[in-house]
């Protein structure tokens, strides 16, 4: 594909912190290469703002390889932008046209308070993982990977669930700000593997209880979460989570 340059108008959410009111500010960017990533375009804008003595736009990023889940931006009404199965850092400017206006916002969820501008606090996800996203293992030398036979179908489903990067796009897209897709991916990943059996019942109860405590909404299964997930995590994991939760509630010692 031929490279080309474009001029764009950006309407970016600016907010000092969670306790202050925010608003959109308009910026013009020129000569943006179609082959730049969306974050590289923001780098160019921030360099311009710094050169002009203005405050740069705060946004979250780390690996820029679609792995860390930090590049959370709501772009033109869709988490991570218009491309399916793509993180913001992997979104390229050829997704837009010369002269376009692009609206960029942070995630909107009670459980994800704004830190500044486009950065949100996803500590709630960390607390959910701490509540049960682990397994018990004996210390010592690592065992051979093939020591425990695992059915291929379960291994594939566990691998697919483990692809979740915890970016929070599912929460941002959900009208209820539900974290069920995230939690179900973490529960399914370990519930499908024999290594996850020791904590299987307490895991799902503790993670769901923590999810509720952190202020995430209920799941009404609109499937908006799956539609915007950059790793295409399936909503079938939510069904598995419900089964795990019901079975644990019925059988665990009171």
Q: What is the DSSP string of the chain?
A: ----EEEEEEEEEE-SSTTS--EEEEEEEEEEETTSBHHHHHHHHHHHHHHTTPPPPP---S-SSS-S-----EETTEET-SSTT--GGG-BGGGS-TT-EEEEE----TTS-EEETTEE--HHHHHHHHHH-------SSPPPTTSS---HHHHHHHHHHHT-----HHHHHSTT-B-HHHHHHHHHHHHTSGGGSTTHHHHHHHHHHHHHHTT-B------HHHHH-TT---THHHHHHHHHHHHHHHHS--
pLDDT for 140 equals 76
pLDDT for 1 equals 59
User: Is 110 a domain residue?
Assistant: no
Q: Of 168, 75, 195, give the one whose Cα is nearest residue 113.
A: 168
What pLDDT digit, counting tens, does each position of 90-128 carry? 999 999 999 999 999 999 999 999 999 999 999 999 999
Task: Indicate if 78 and 36 belong to the same structural domain.
Answer: yes
Question: At 220, phi and psi to the nearest 5?
Answer: -110, 15
pLDDT for 253 equals 59
Task: Indicate if 96 and 61 belong to the same structural domain.
Answer: yes
Distance CA 125, CA 127 (A): 5
Distance CA 224, CA 74 (A): 14
How many of the other CB atoms lie within 10 Å of CB of 115? 17
Greatest alpha-carbon pair distance for the chain in Å reads: 65
Task: Indicate if 57 and 137 belong to the same structural domain.
Answer: no
User: Is 231 a domain residue?
Assistant: yes
Give the dihedral of Cα atoms 234, 236, 240, 243; nearest 10 deg: 150
Residue 152: domain span: 123-251
User: Is 117 a domain residue?
Assistant: no
pLDDT for 145 equals 67
Distance CA 132, CA 184 (A): 12
Task: Indicate if 64 and 143 belong to the same structural domain.
Answer: no
> β-strands 114-116, 119-120: how paired?
antiparallel
The residue ranges of the chain whose pLDDT is under 70 are 1, 145, 252-254
Task: Indicate if 69 and 185 belong to the same structural domain.
Answer: no
For the chain, how many structural domains are there in total? 2
- Domain end residue (candidates: 76, 105, 134): 105
Mean pLDDT of the chain: 95
User: Is 100 a domain residue?
Assistant: yes
User: Is 237 a domain residue?
Assistant: yes
CATH number at residue 14: 3.10.20.30
Q: Of 192, 199, 204, give the one whose Cα is nearest residue 156.
A: 192
Structure pTM? 0.93
User: Is 113 a domain residue?
Assistant: no
What pLDDT digit, counting tens, does each position of 30-44 carry? 999 999 999 999 999
- Domain end residue (candidates: 105, 136, 153): 105
Task: Indicate if 137 and 218 belong to the same structural domain.
Answer: yes
């Amino acid at each position: 594909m031929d490279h080309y340059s474009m001029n764009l108008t950006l309407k970016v959410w600016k907010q000092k912190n969670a306790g202050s009111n925010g608003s959109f500010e308009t910026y013009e960017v020129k000569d943006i290469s179609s082959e730049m990533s969306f974050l590289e375009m923001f780098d160019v804008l921030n360099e311009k703002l710094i050169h002009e003595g203005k405050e740069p736009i705060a946004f979250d990023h780390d690996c820029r390889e679609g792995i860390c889940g930090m590049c959370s931006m709501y772009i033109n009404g869709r988490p991570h932008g218009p491309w399916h199965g793509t993180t913001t850092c992997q979104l390229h400017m050829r997704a837009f046209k010369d002269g376009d206006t692009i609206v960029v916002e942070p995630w909107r969820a009670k459980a994800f308070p704004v830190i500044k501008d486009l950065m949100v606090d996803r500590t709630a996800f960390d607390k959910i993982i701490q509540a049960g996203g682990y397994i018990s293992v004996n210390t010592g030398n690592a065992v051979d990977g093939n020591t425990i036979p695992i059915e291929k179908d379960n291994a594939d489903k566990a691998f697919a669930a483990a692809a979740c990067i915890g970016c929070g796009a599912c929460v941002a897209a959900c009208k209820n700000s539900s974290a069920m897709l995230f939690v179900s991916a973490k529960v399914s990943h370990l519930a499908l593997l024999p290594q996850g059996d020791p904590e299987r019942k307490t895991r799902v109860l503790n993670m769901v209880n923590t999810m509720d405590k952190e202020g995430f909404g209920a799941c009404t299964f609109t499937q908006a979460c799956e539609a915007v997930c950059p790793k295409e995590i399936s909503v079938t994991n939510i069904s598995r989570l419900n089964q795990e939760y019901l079975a644990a509630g019925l059988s665990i010692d009171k």
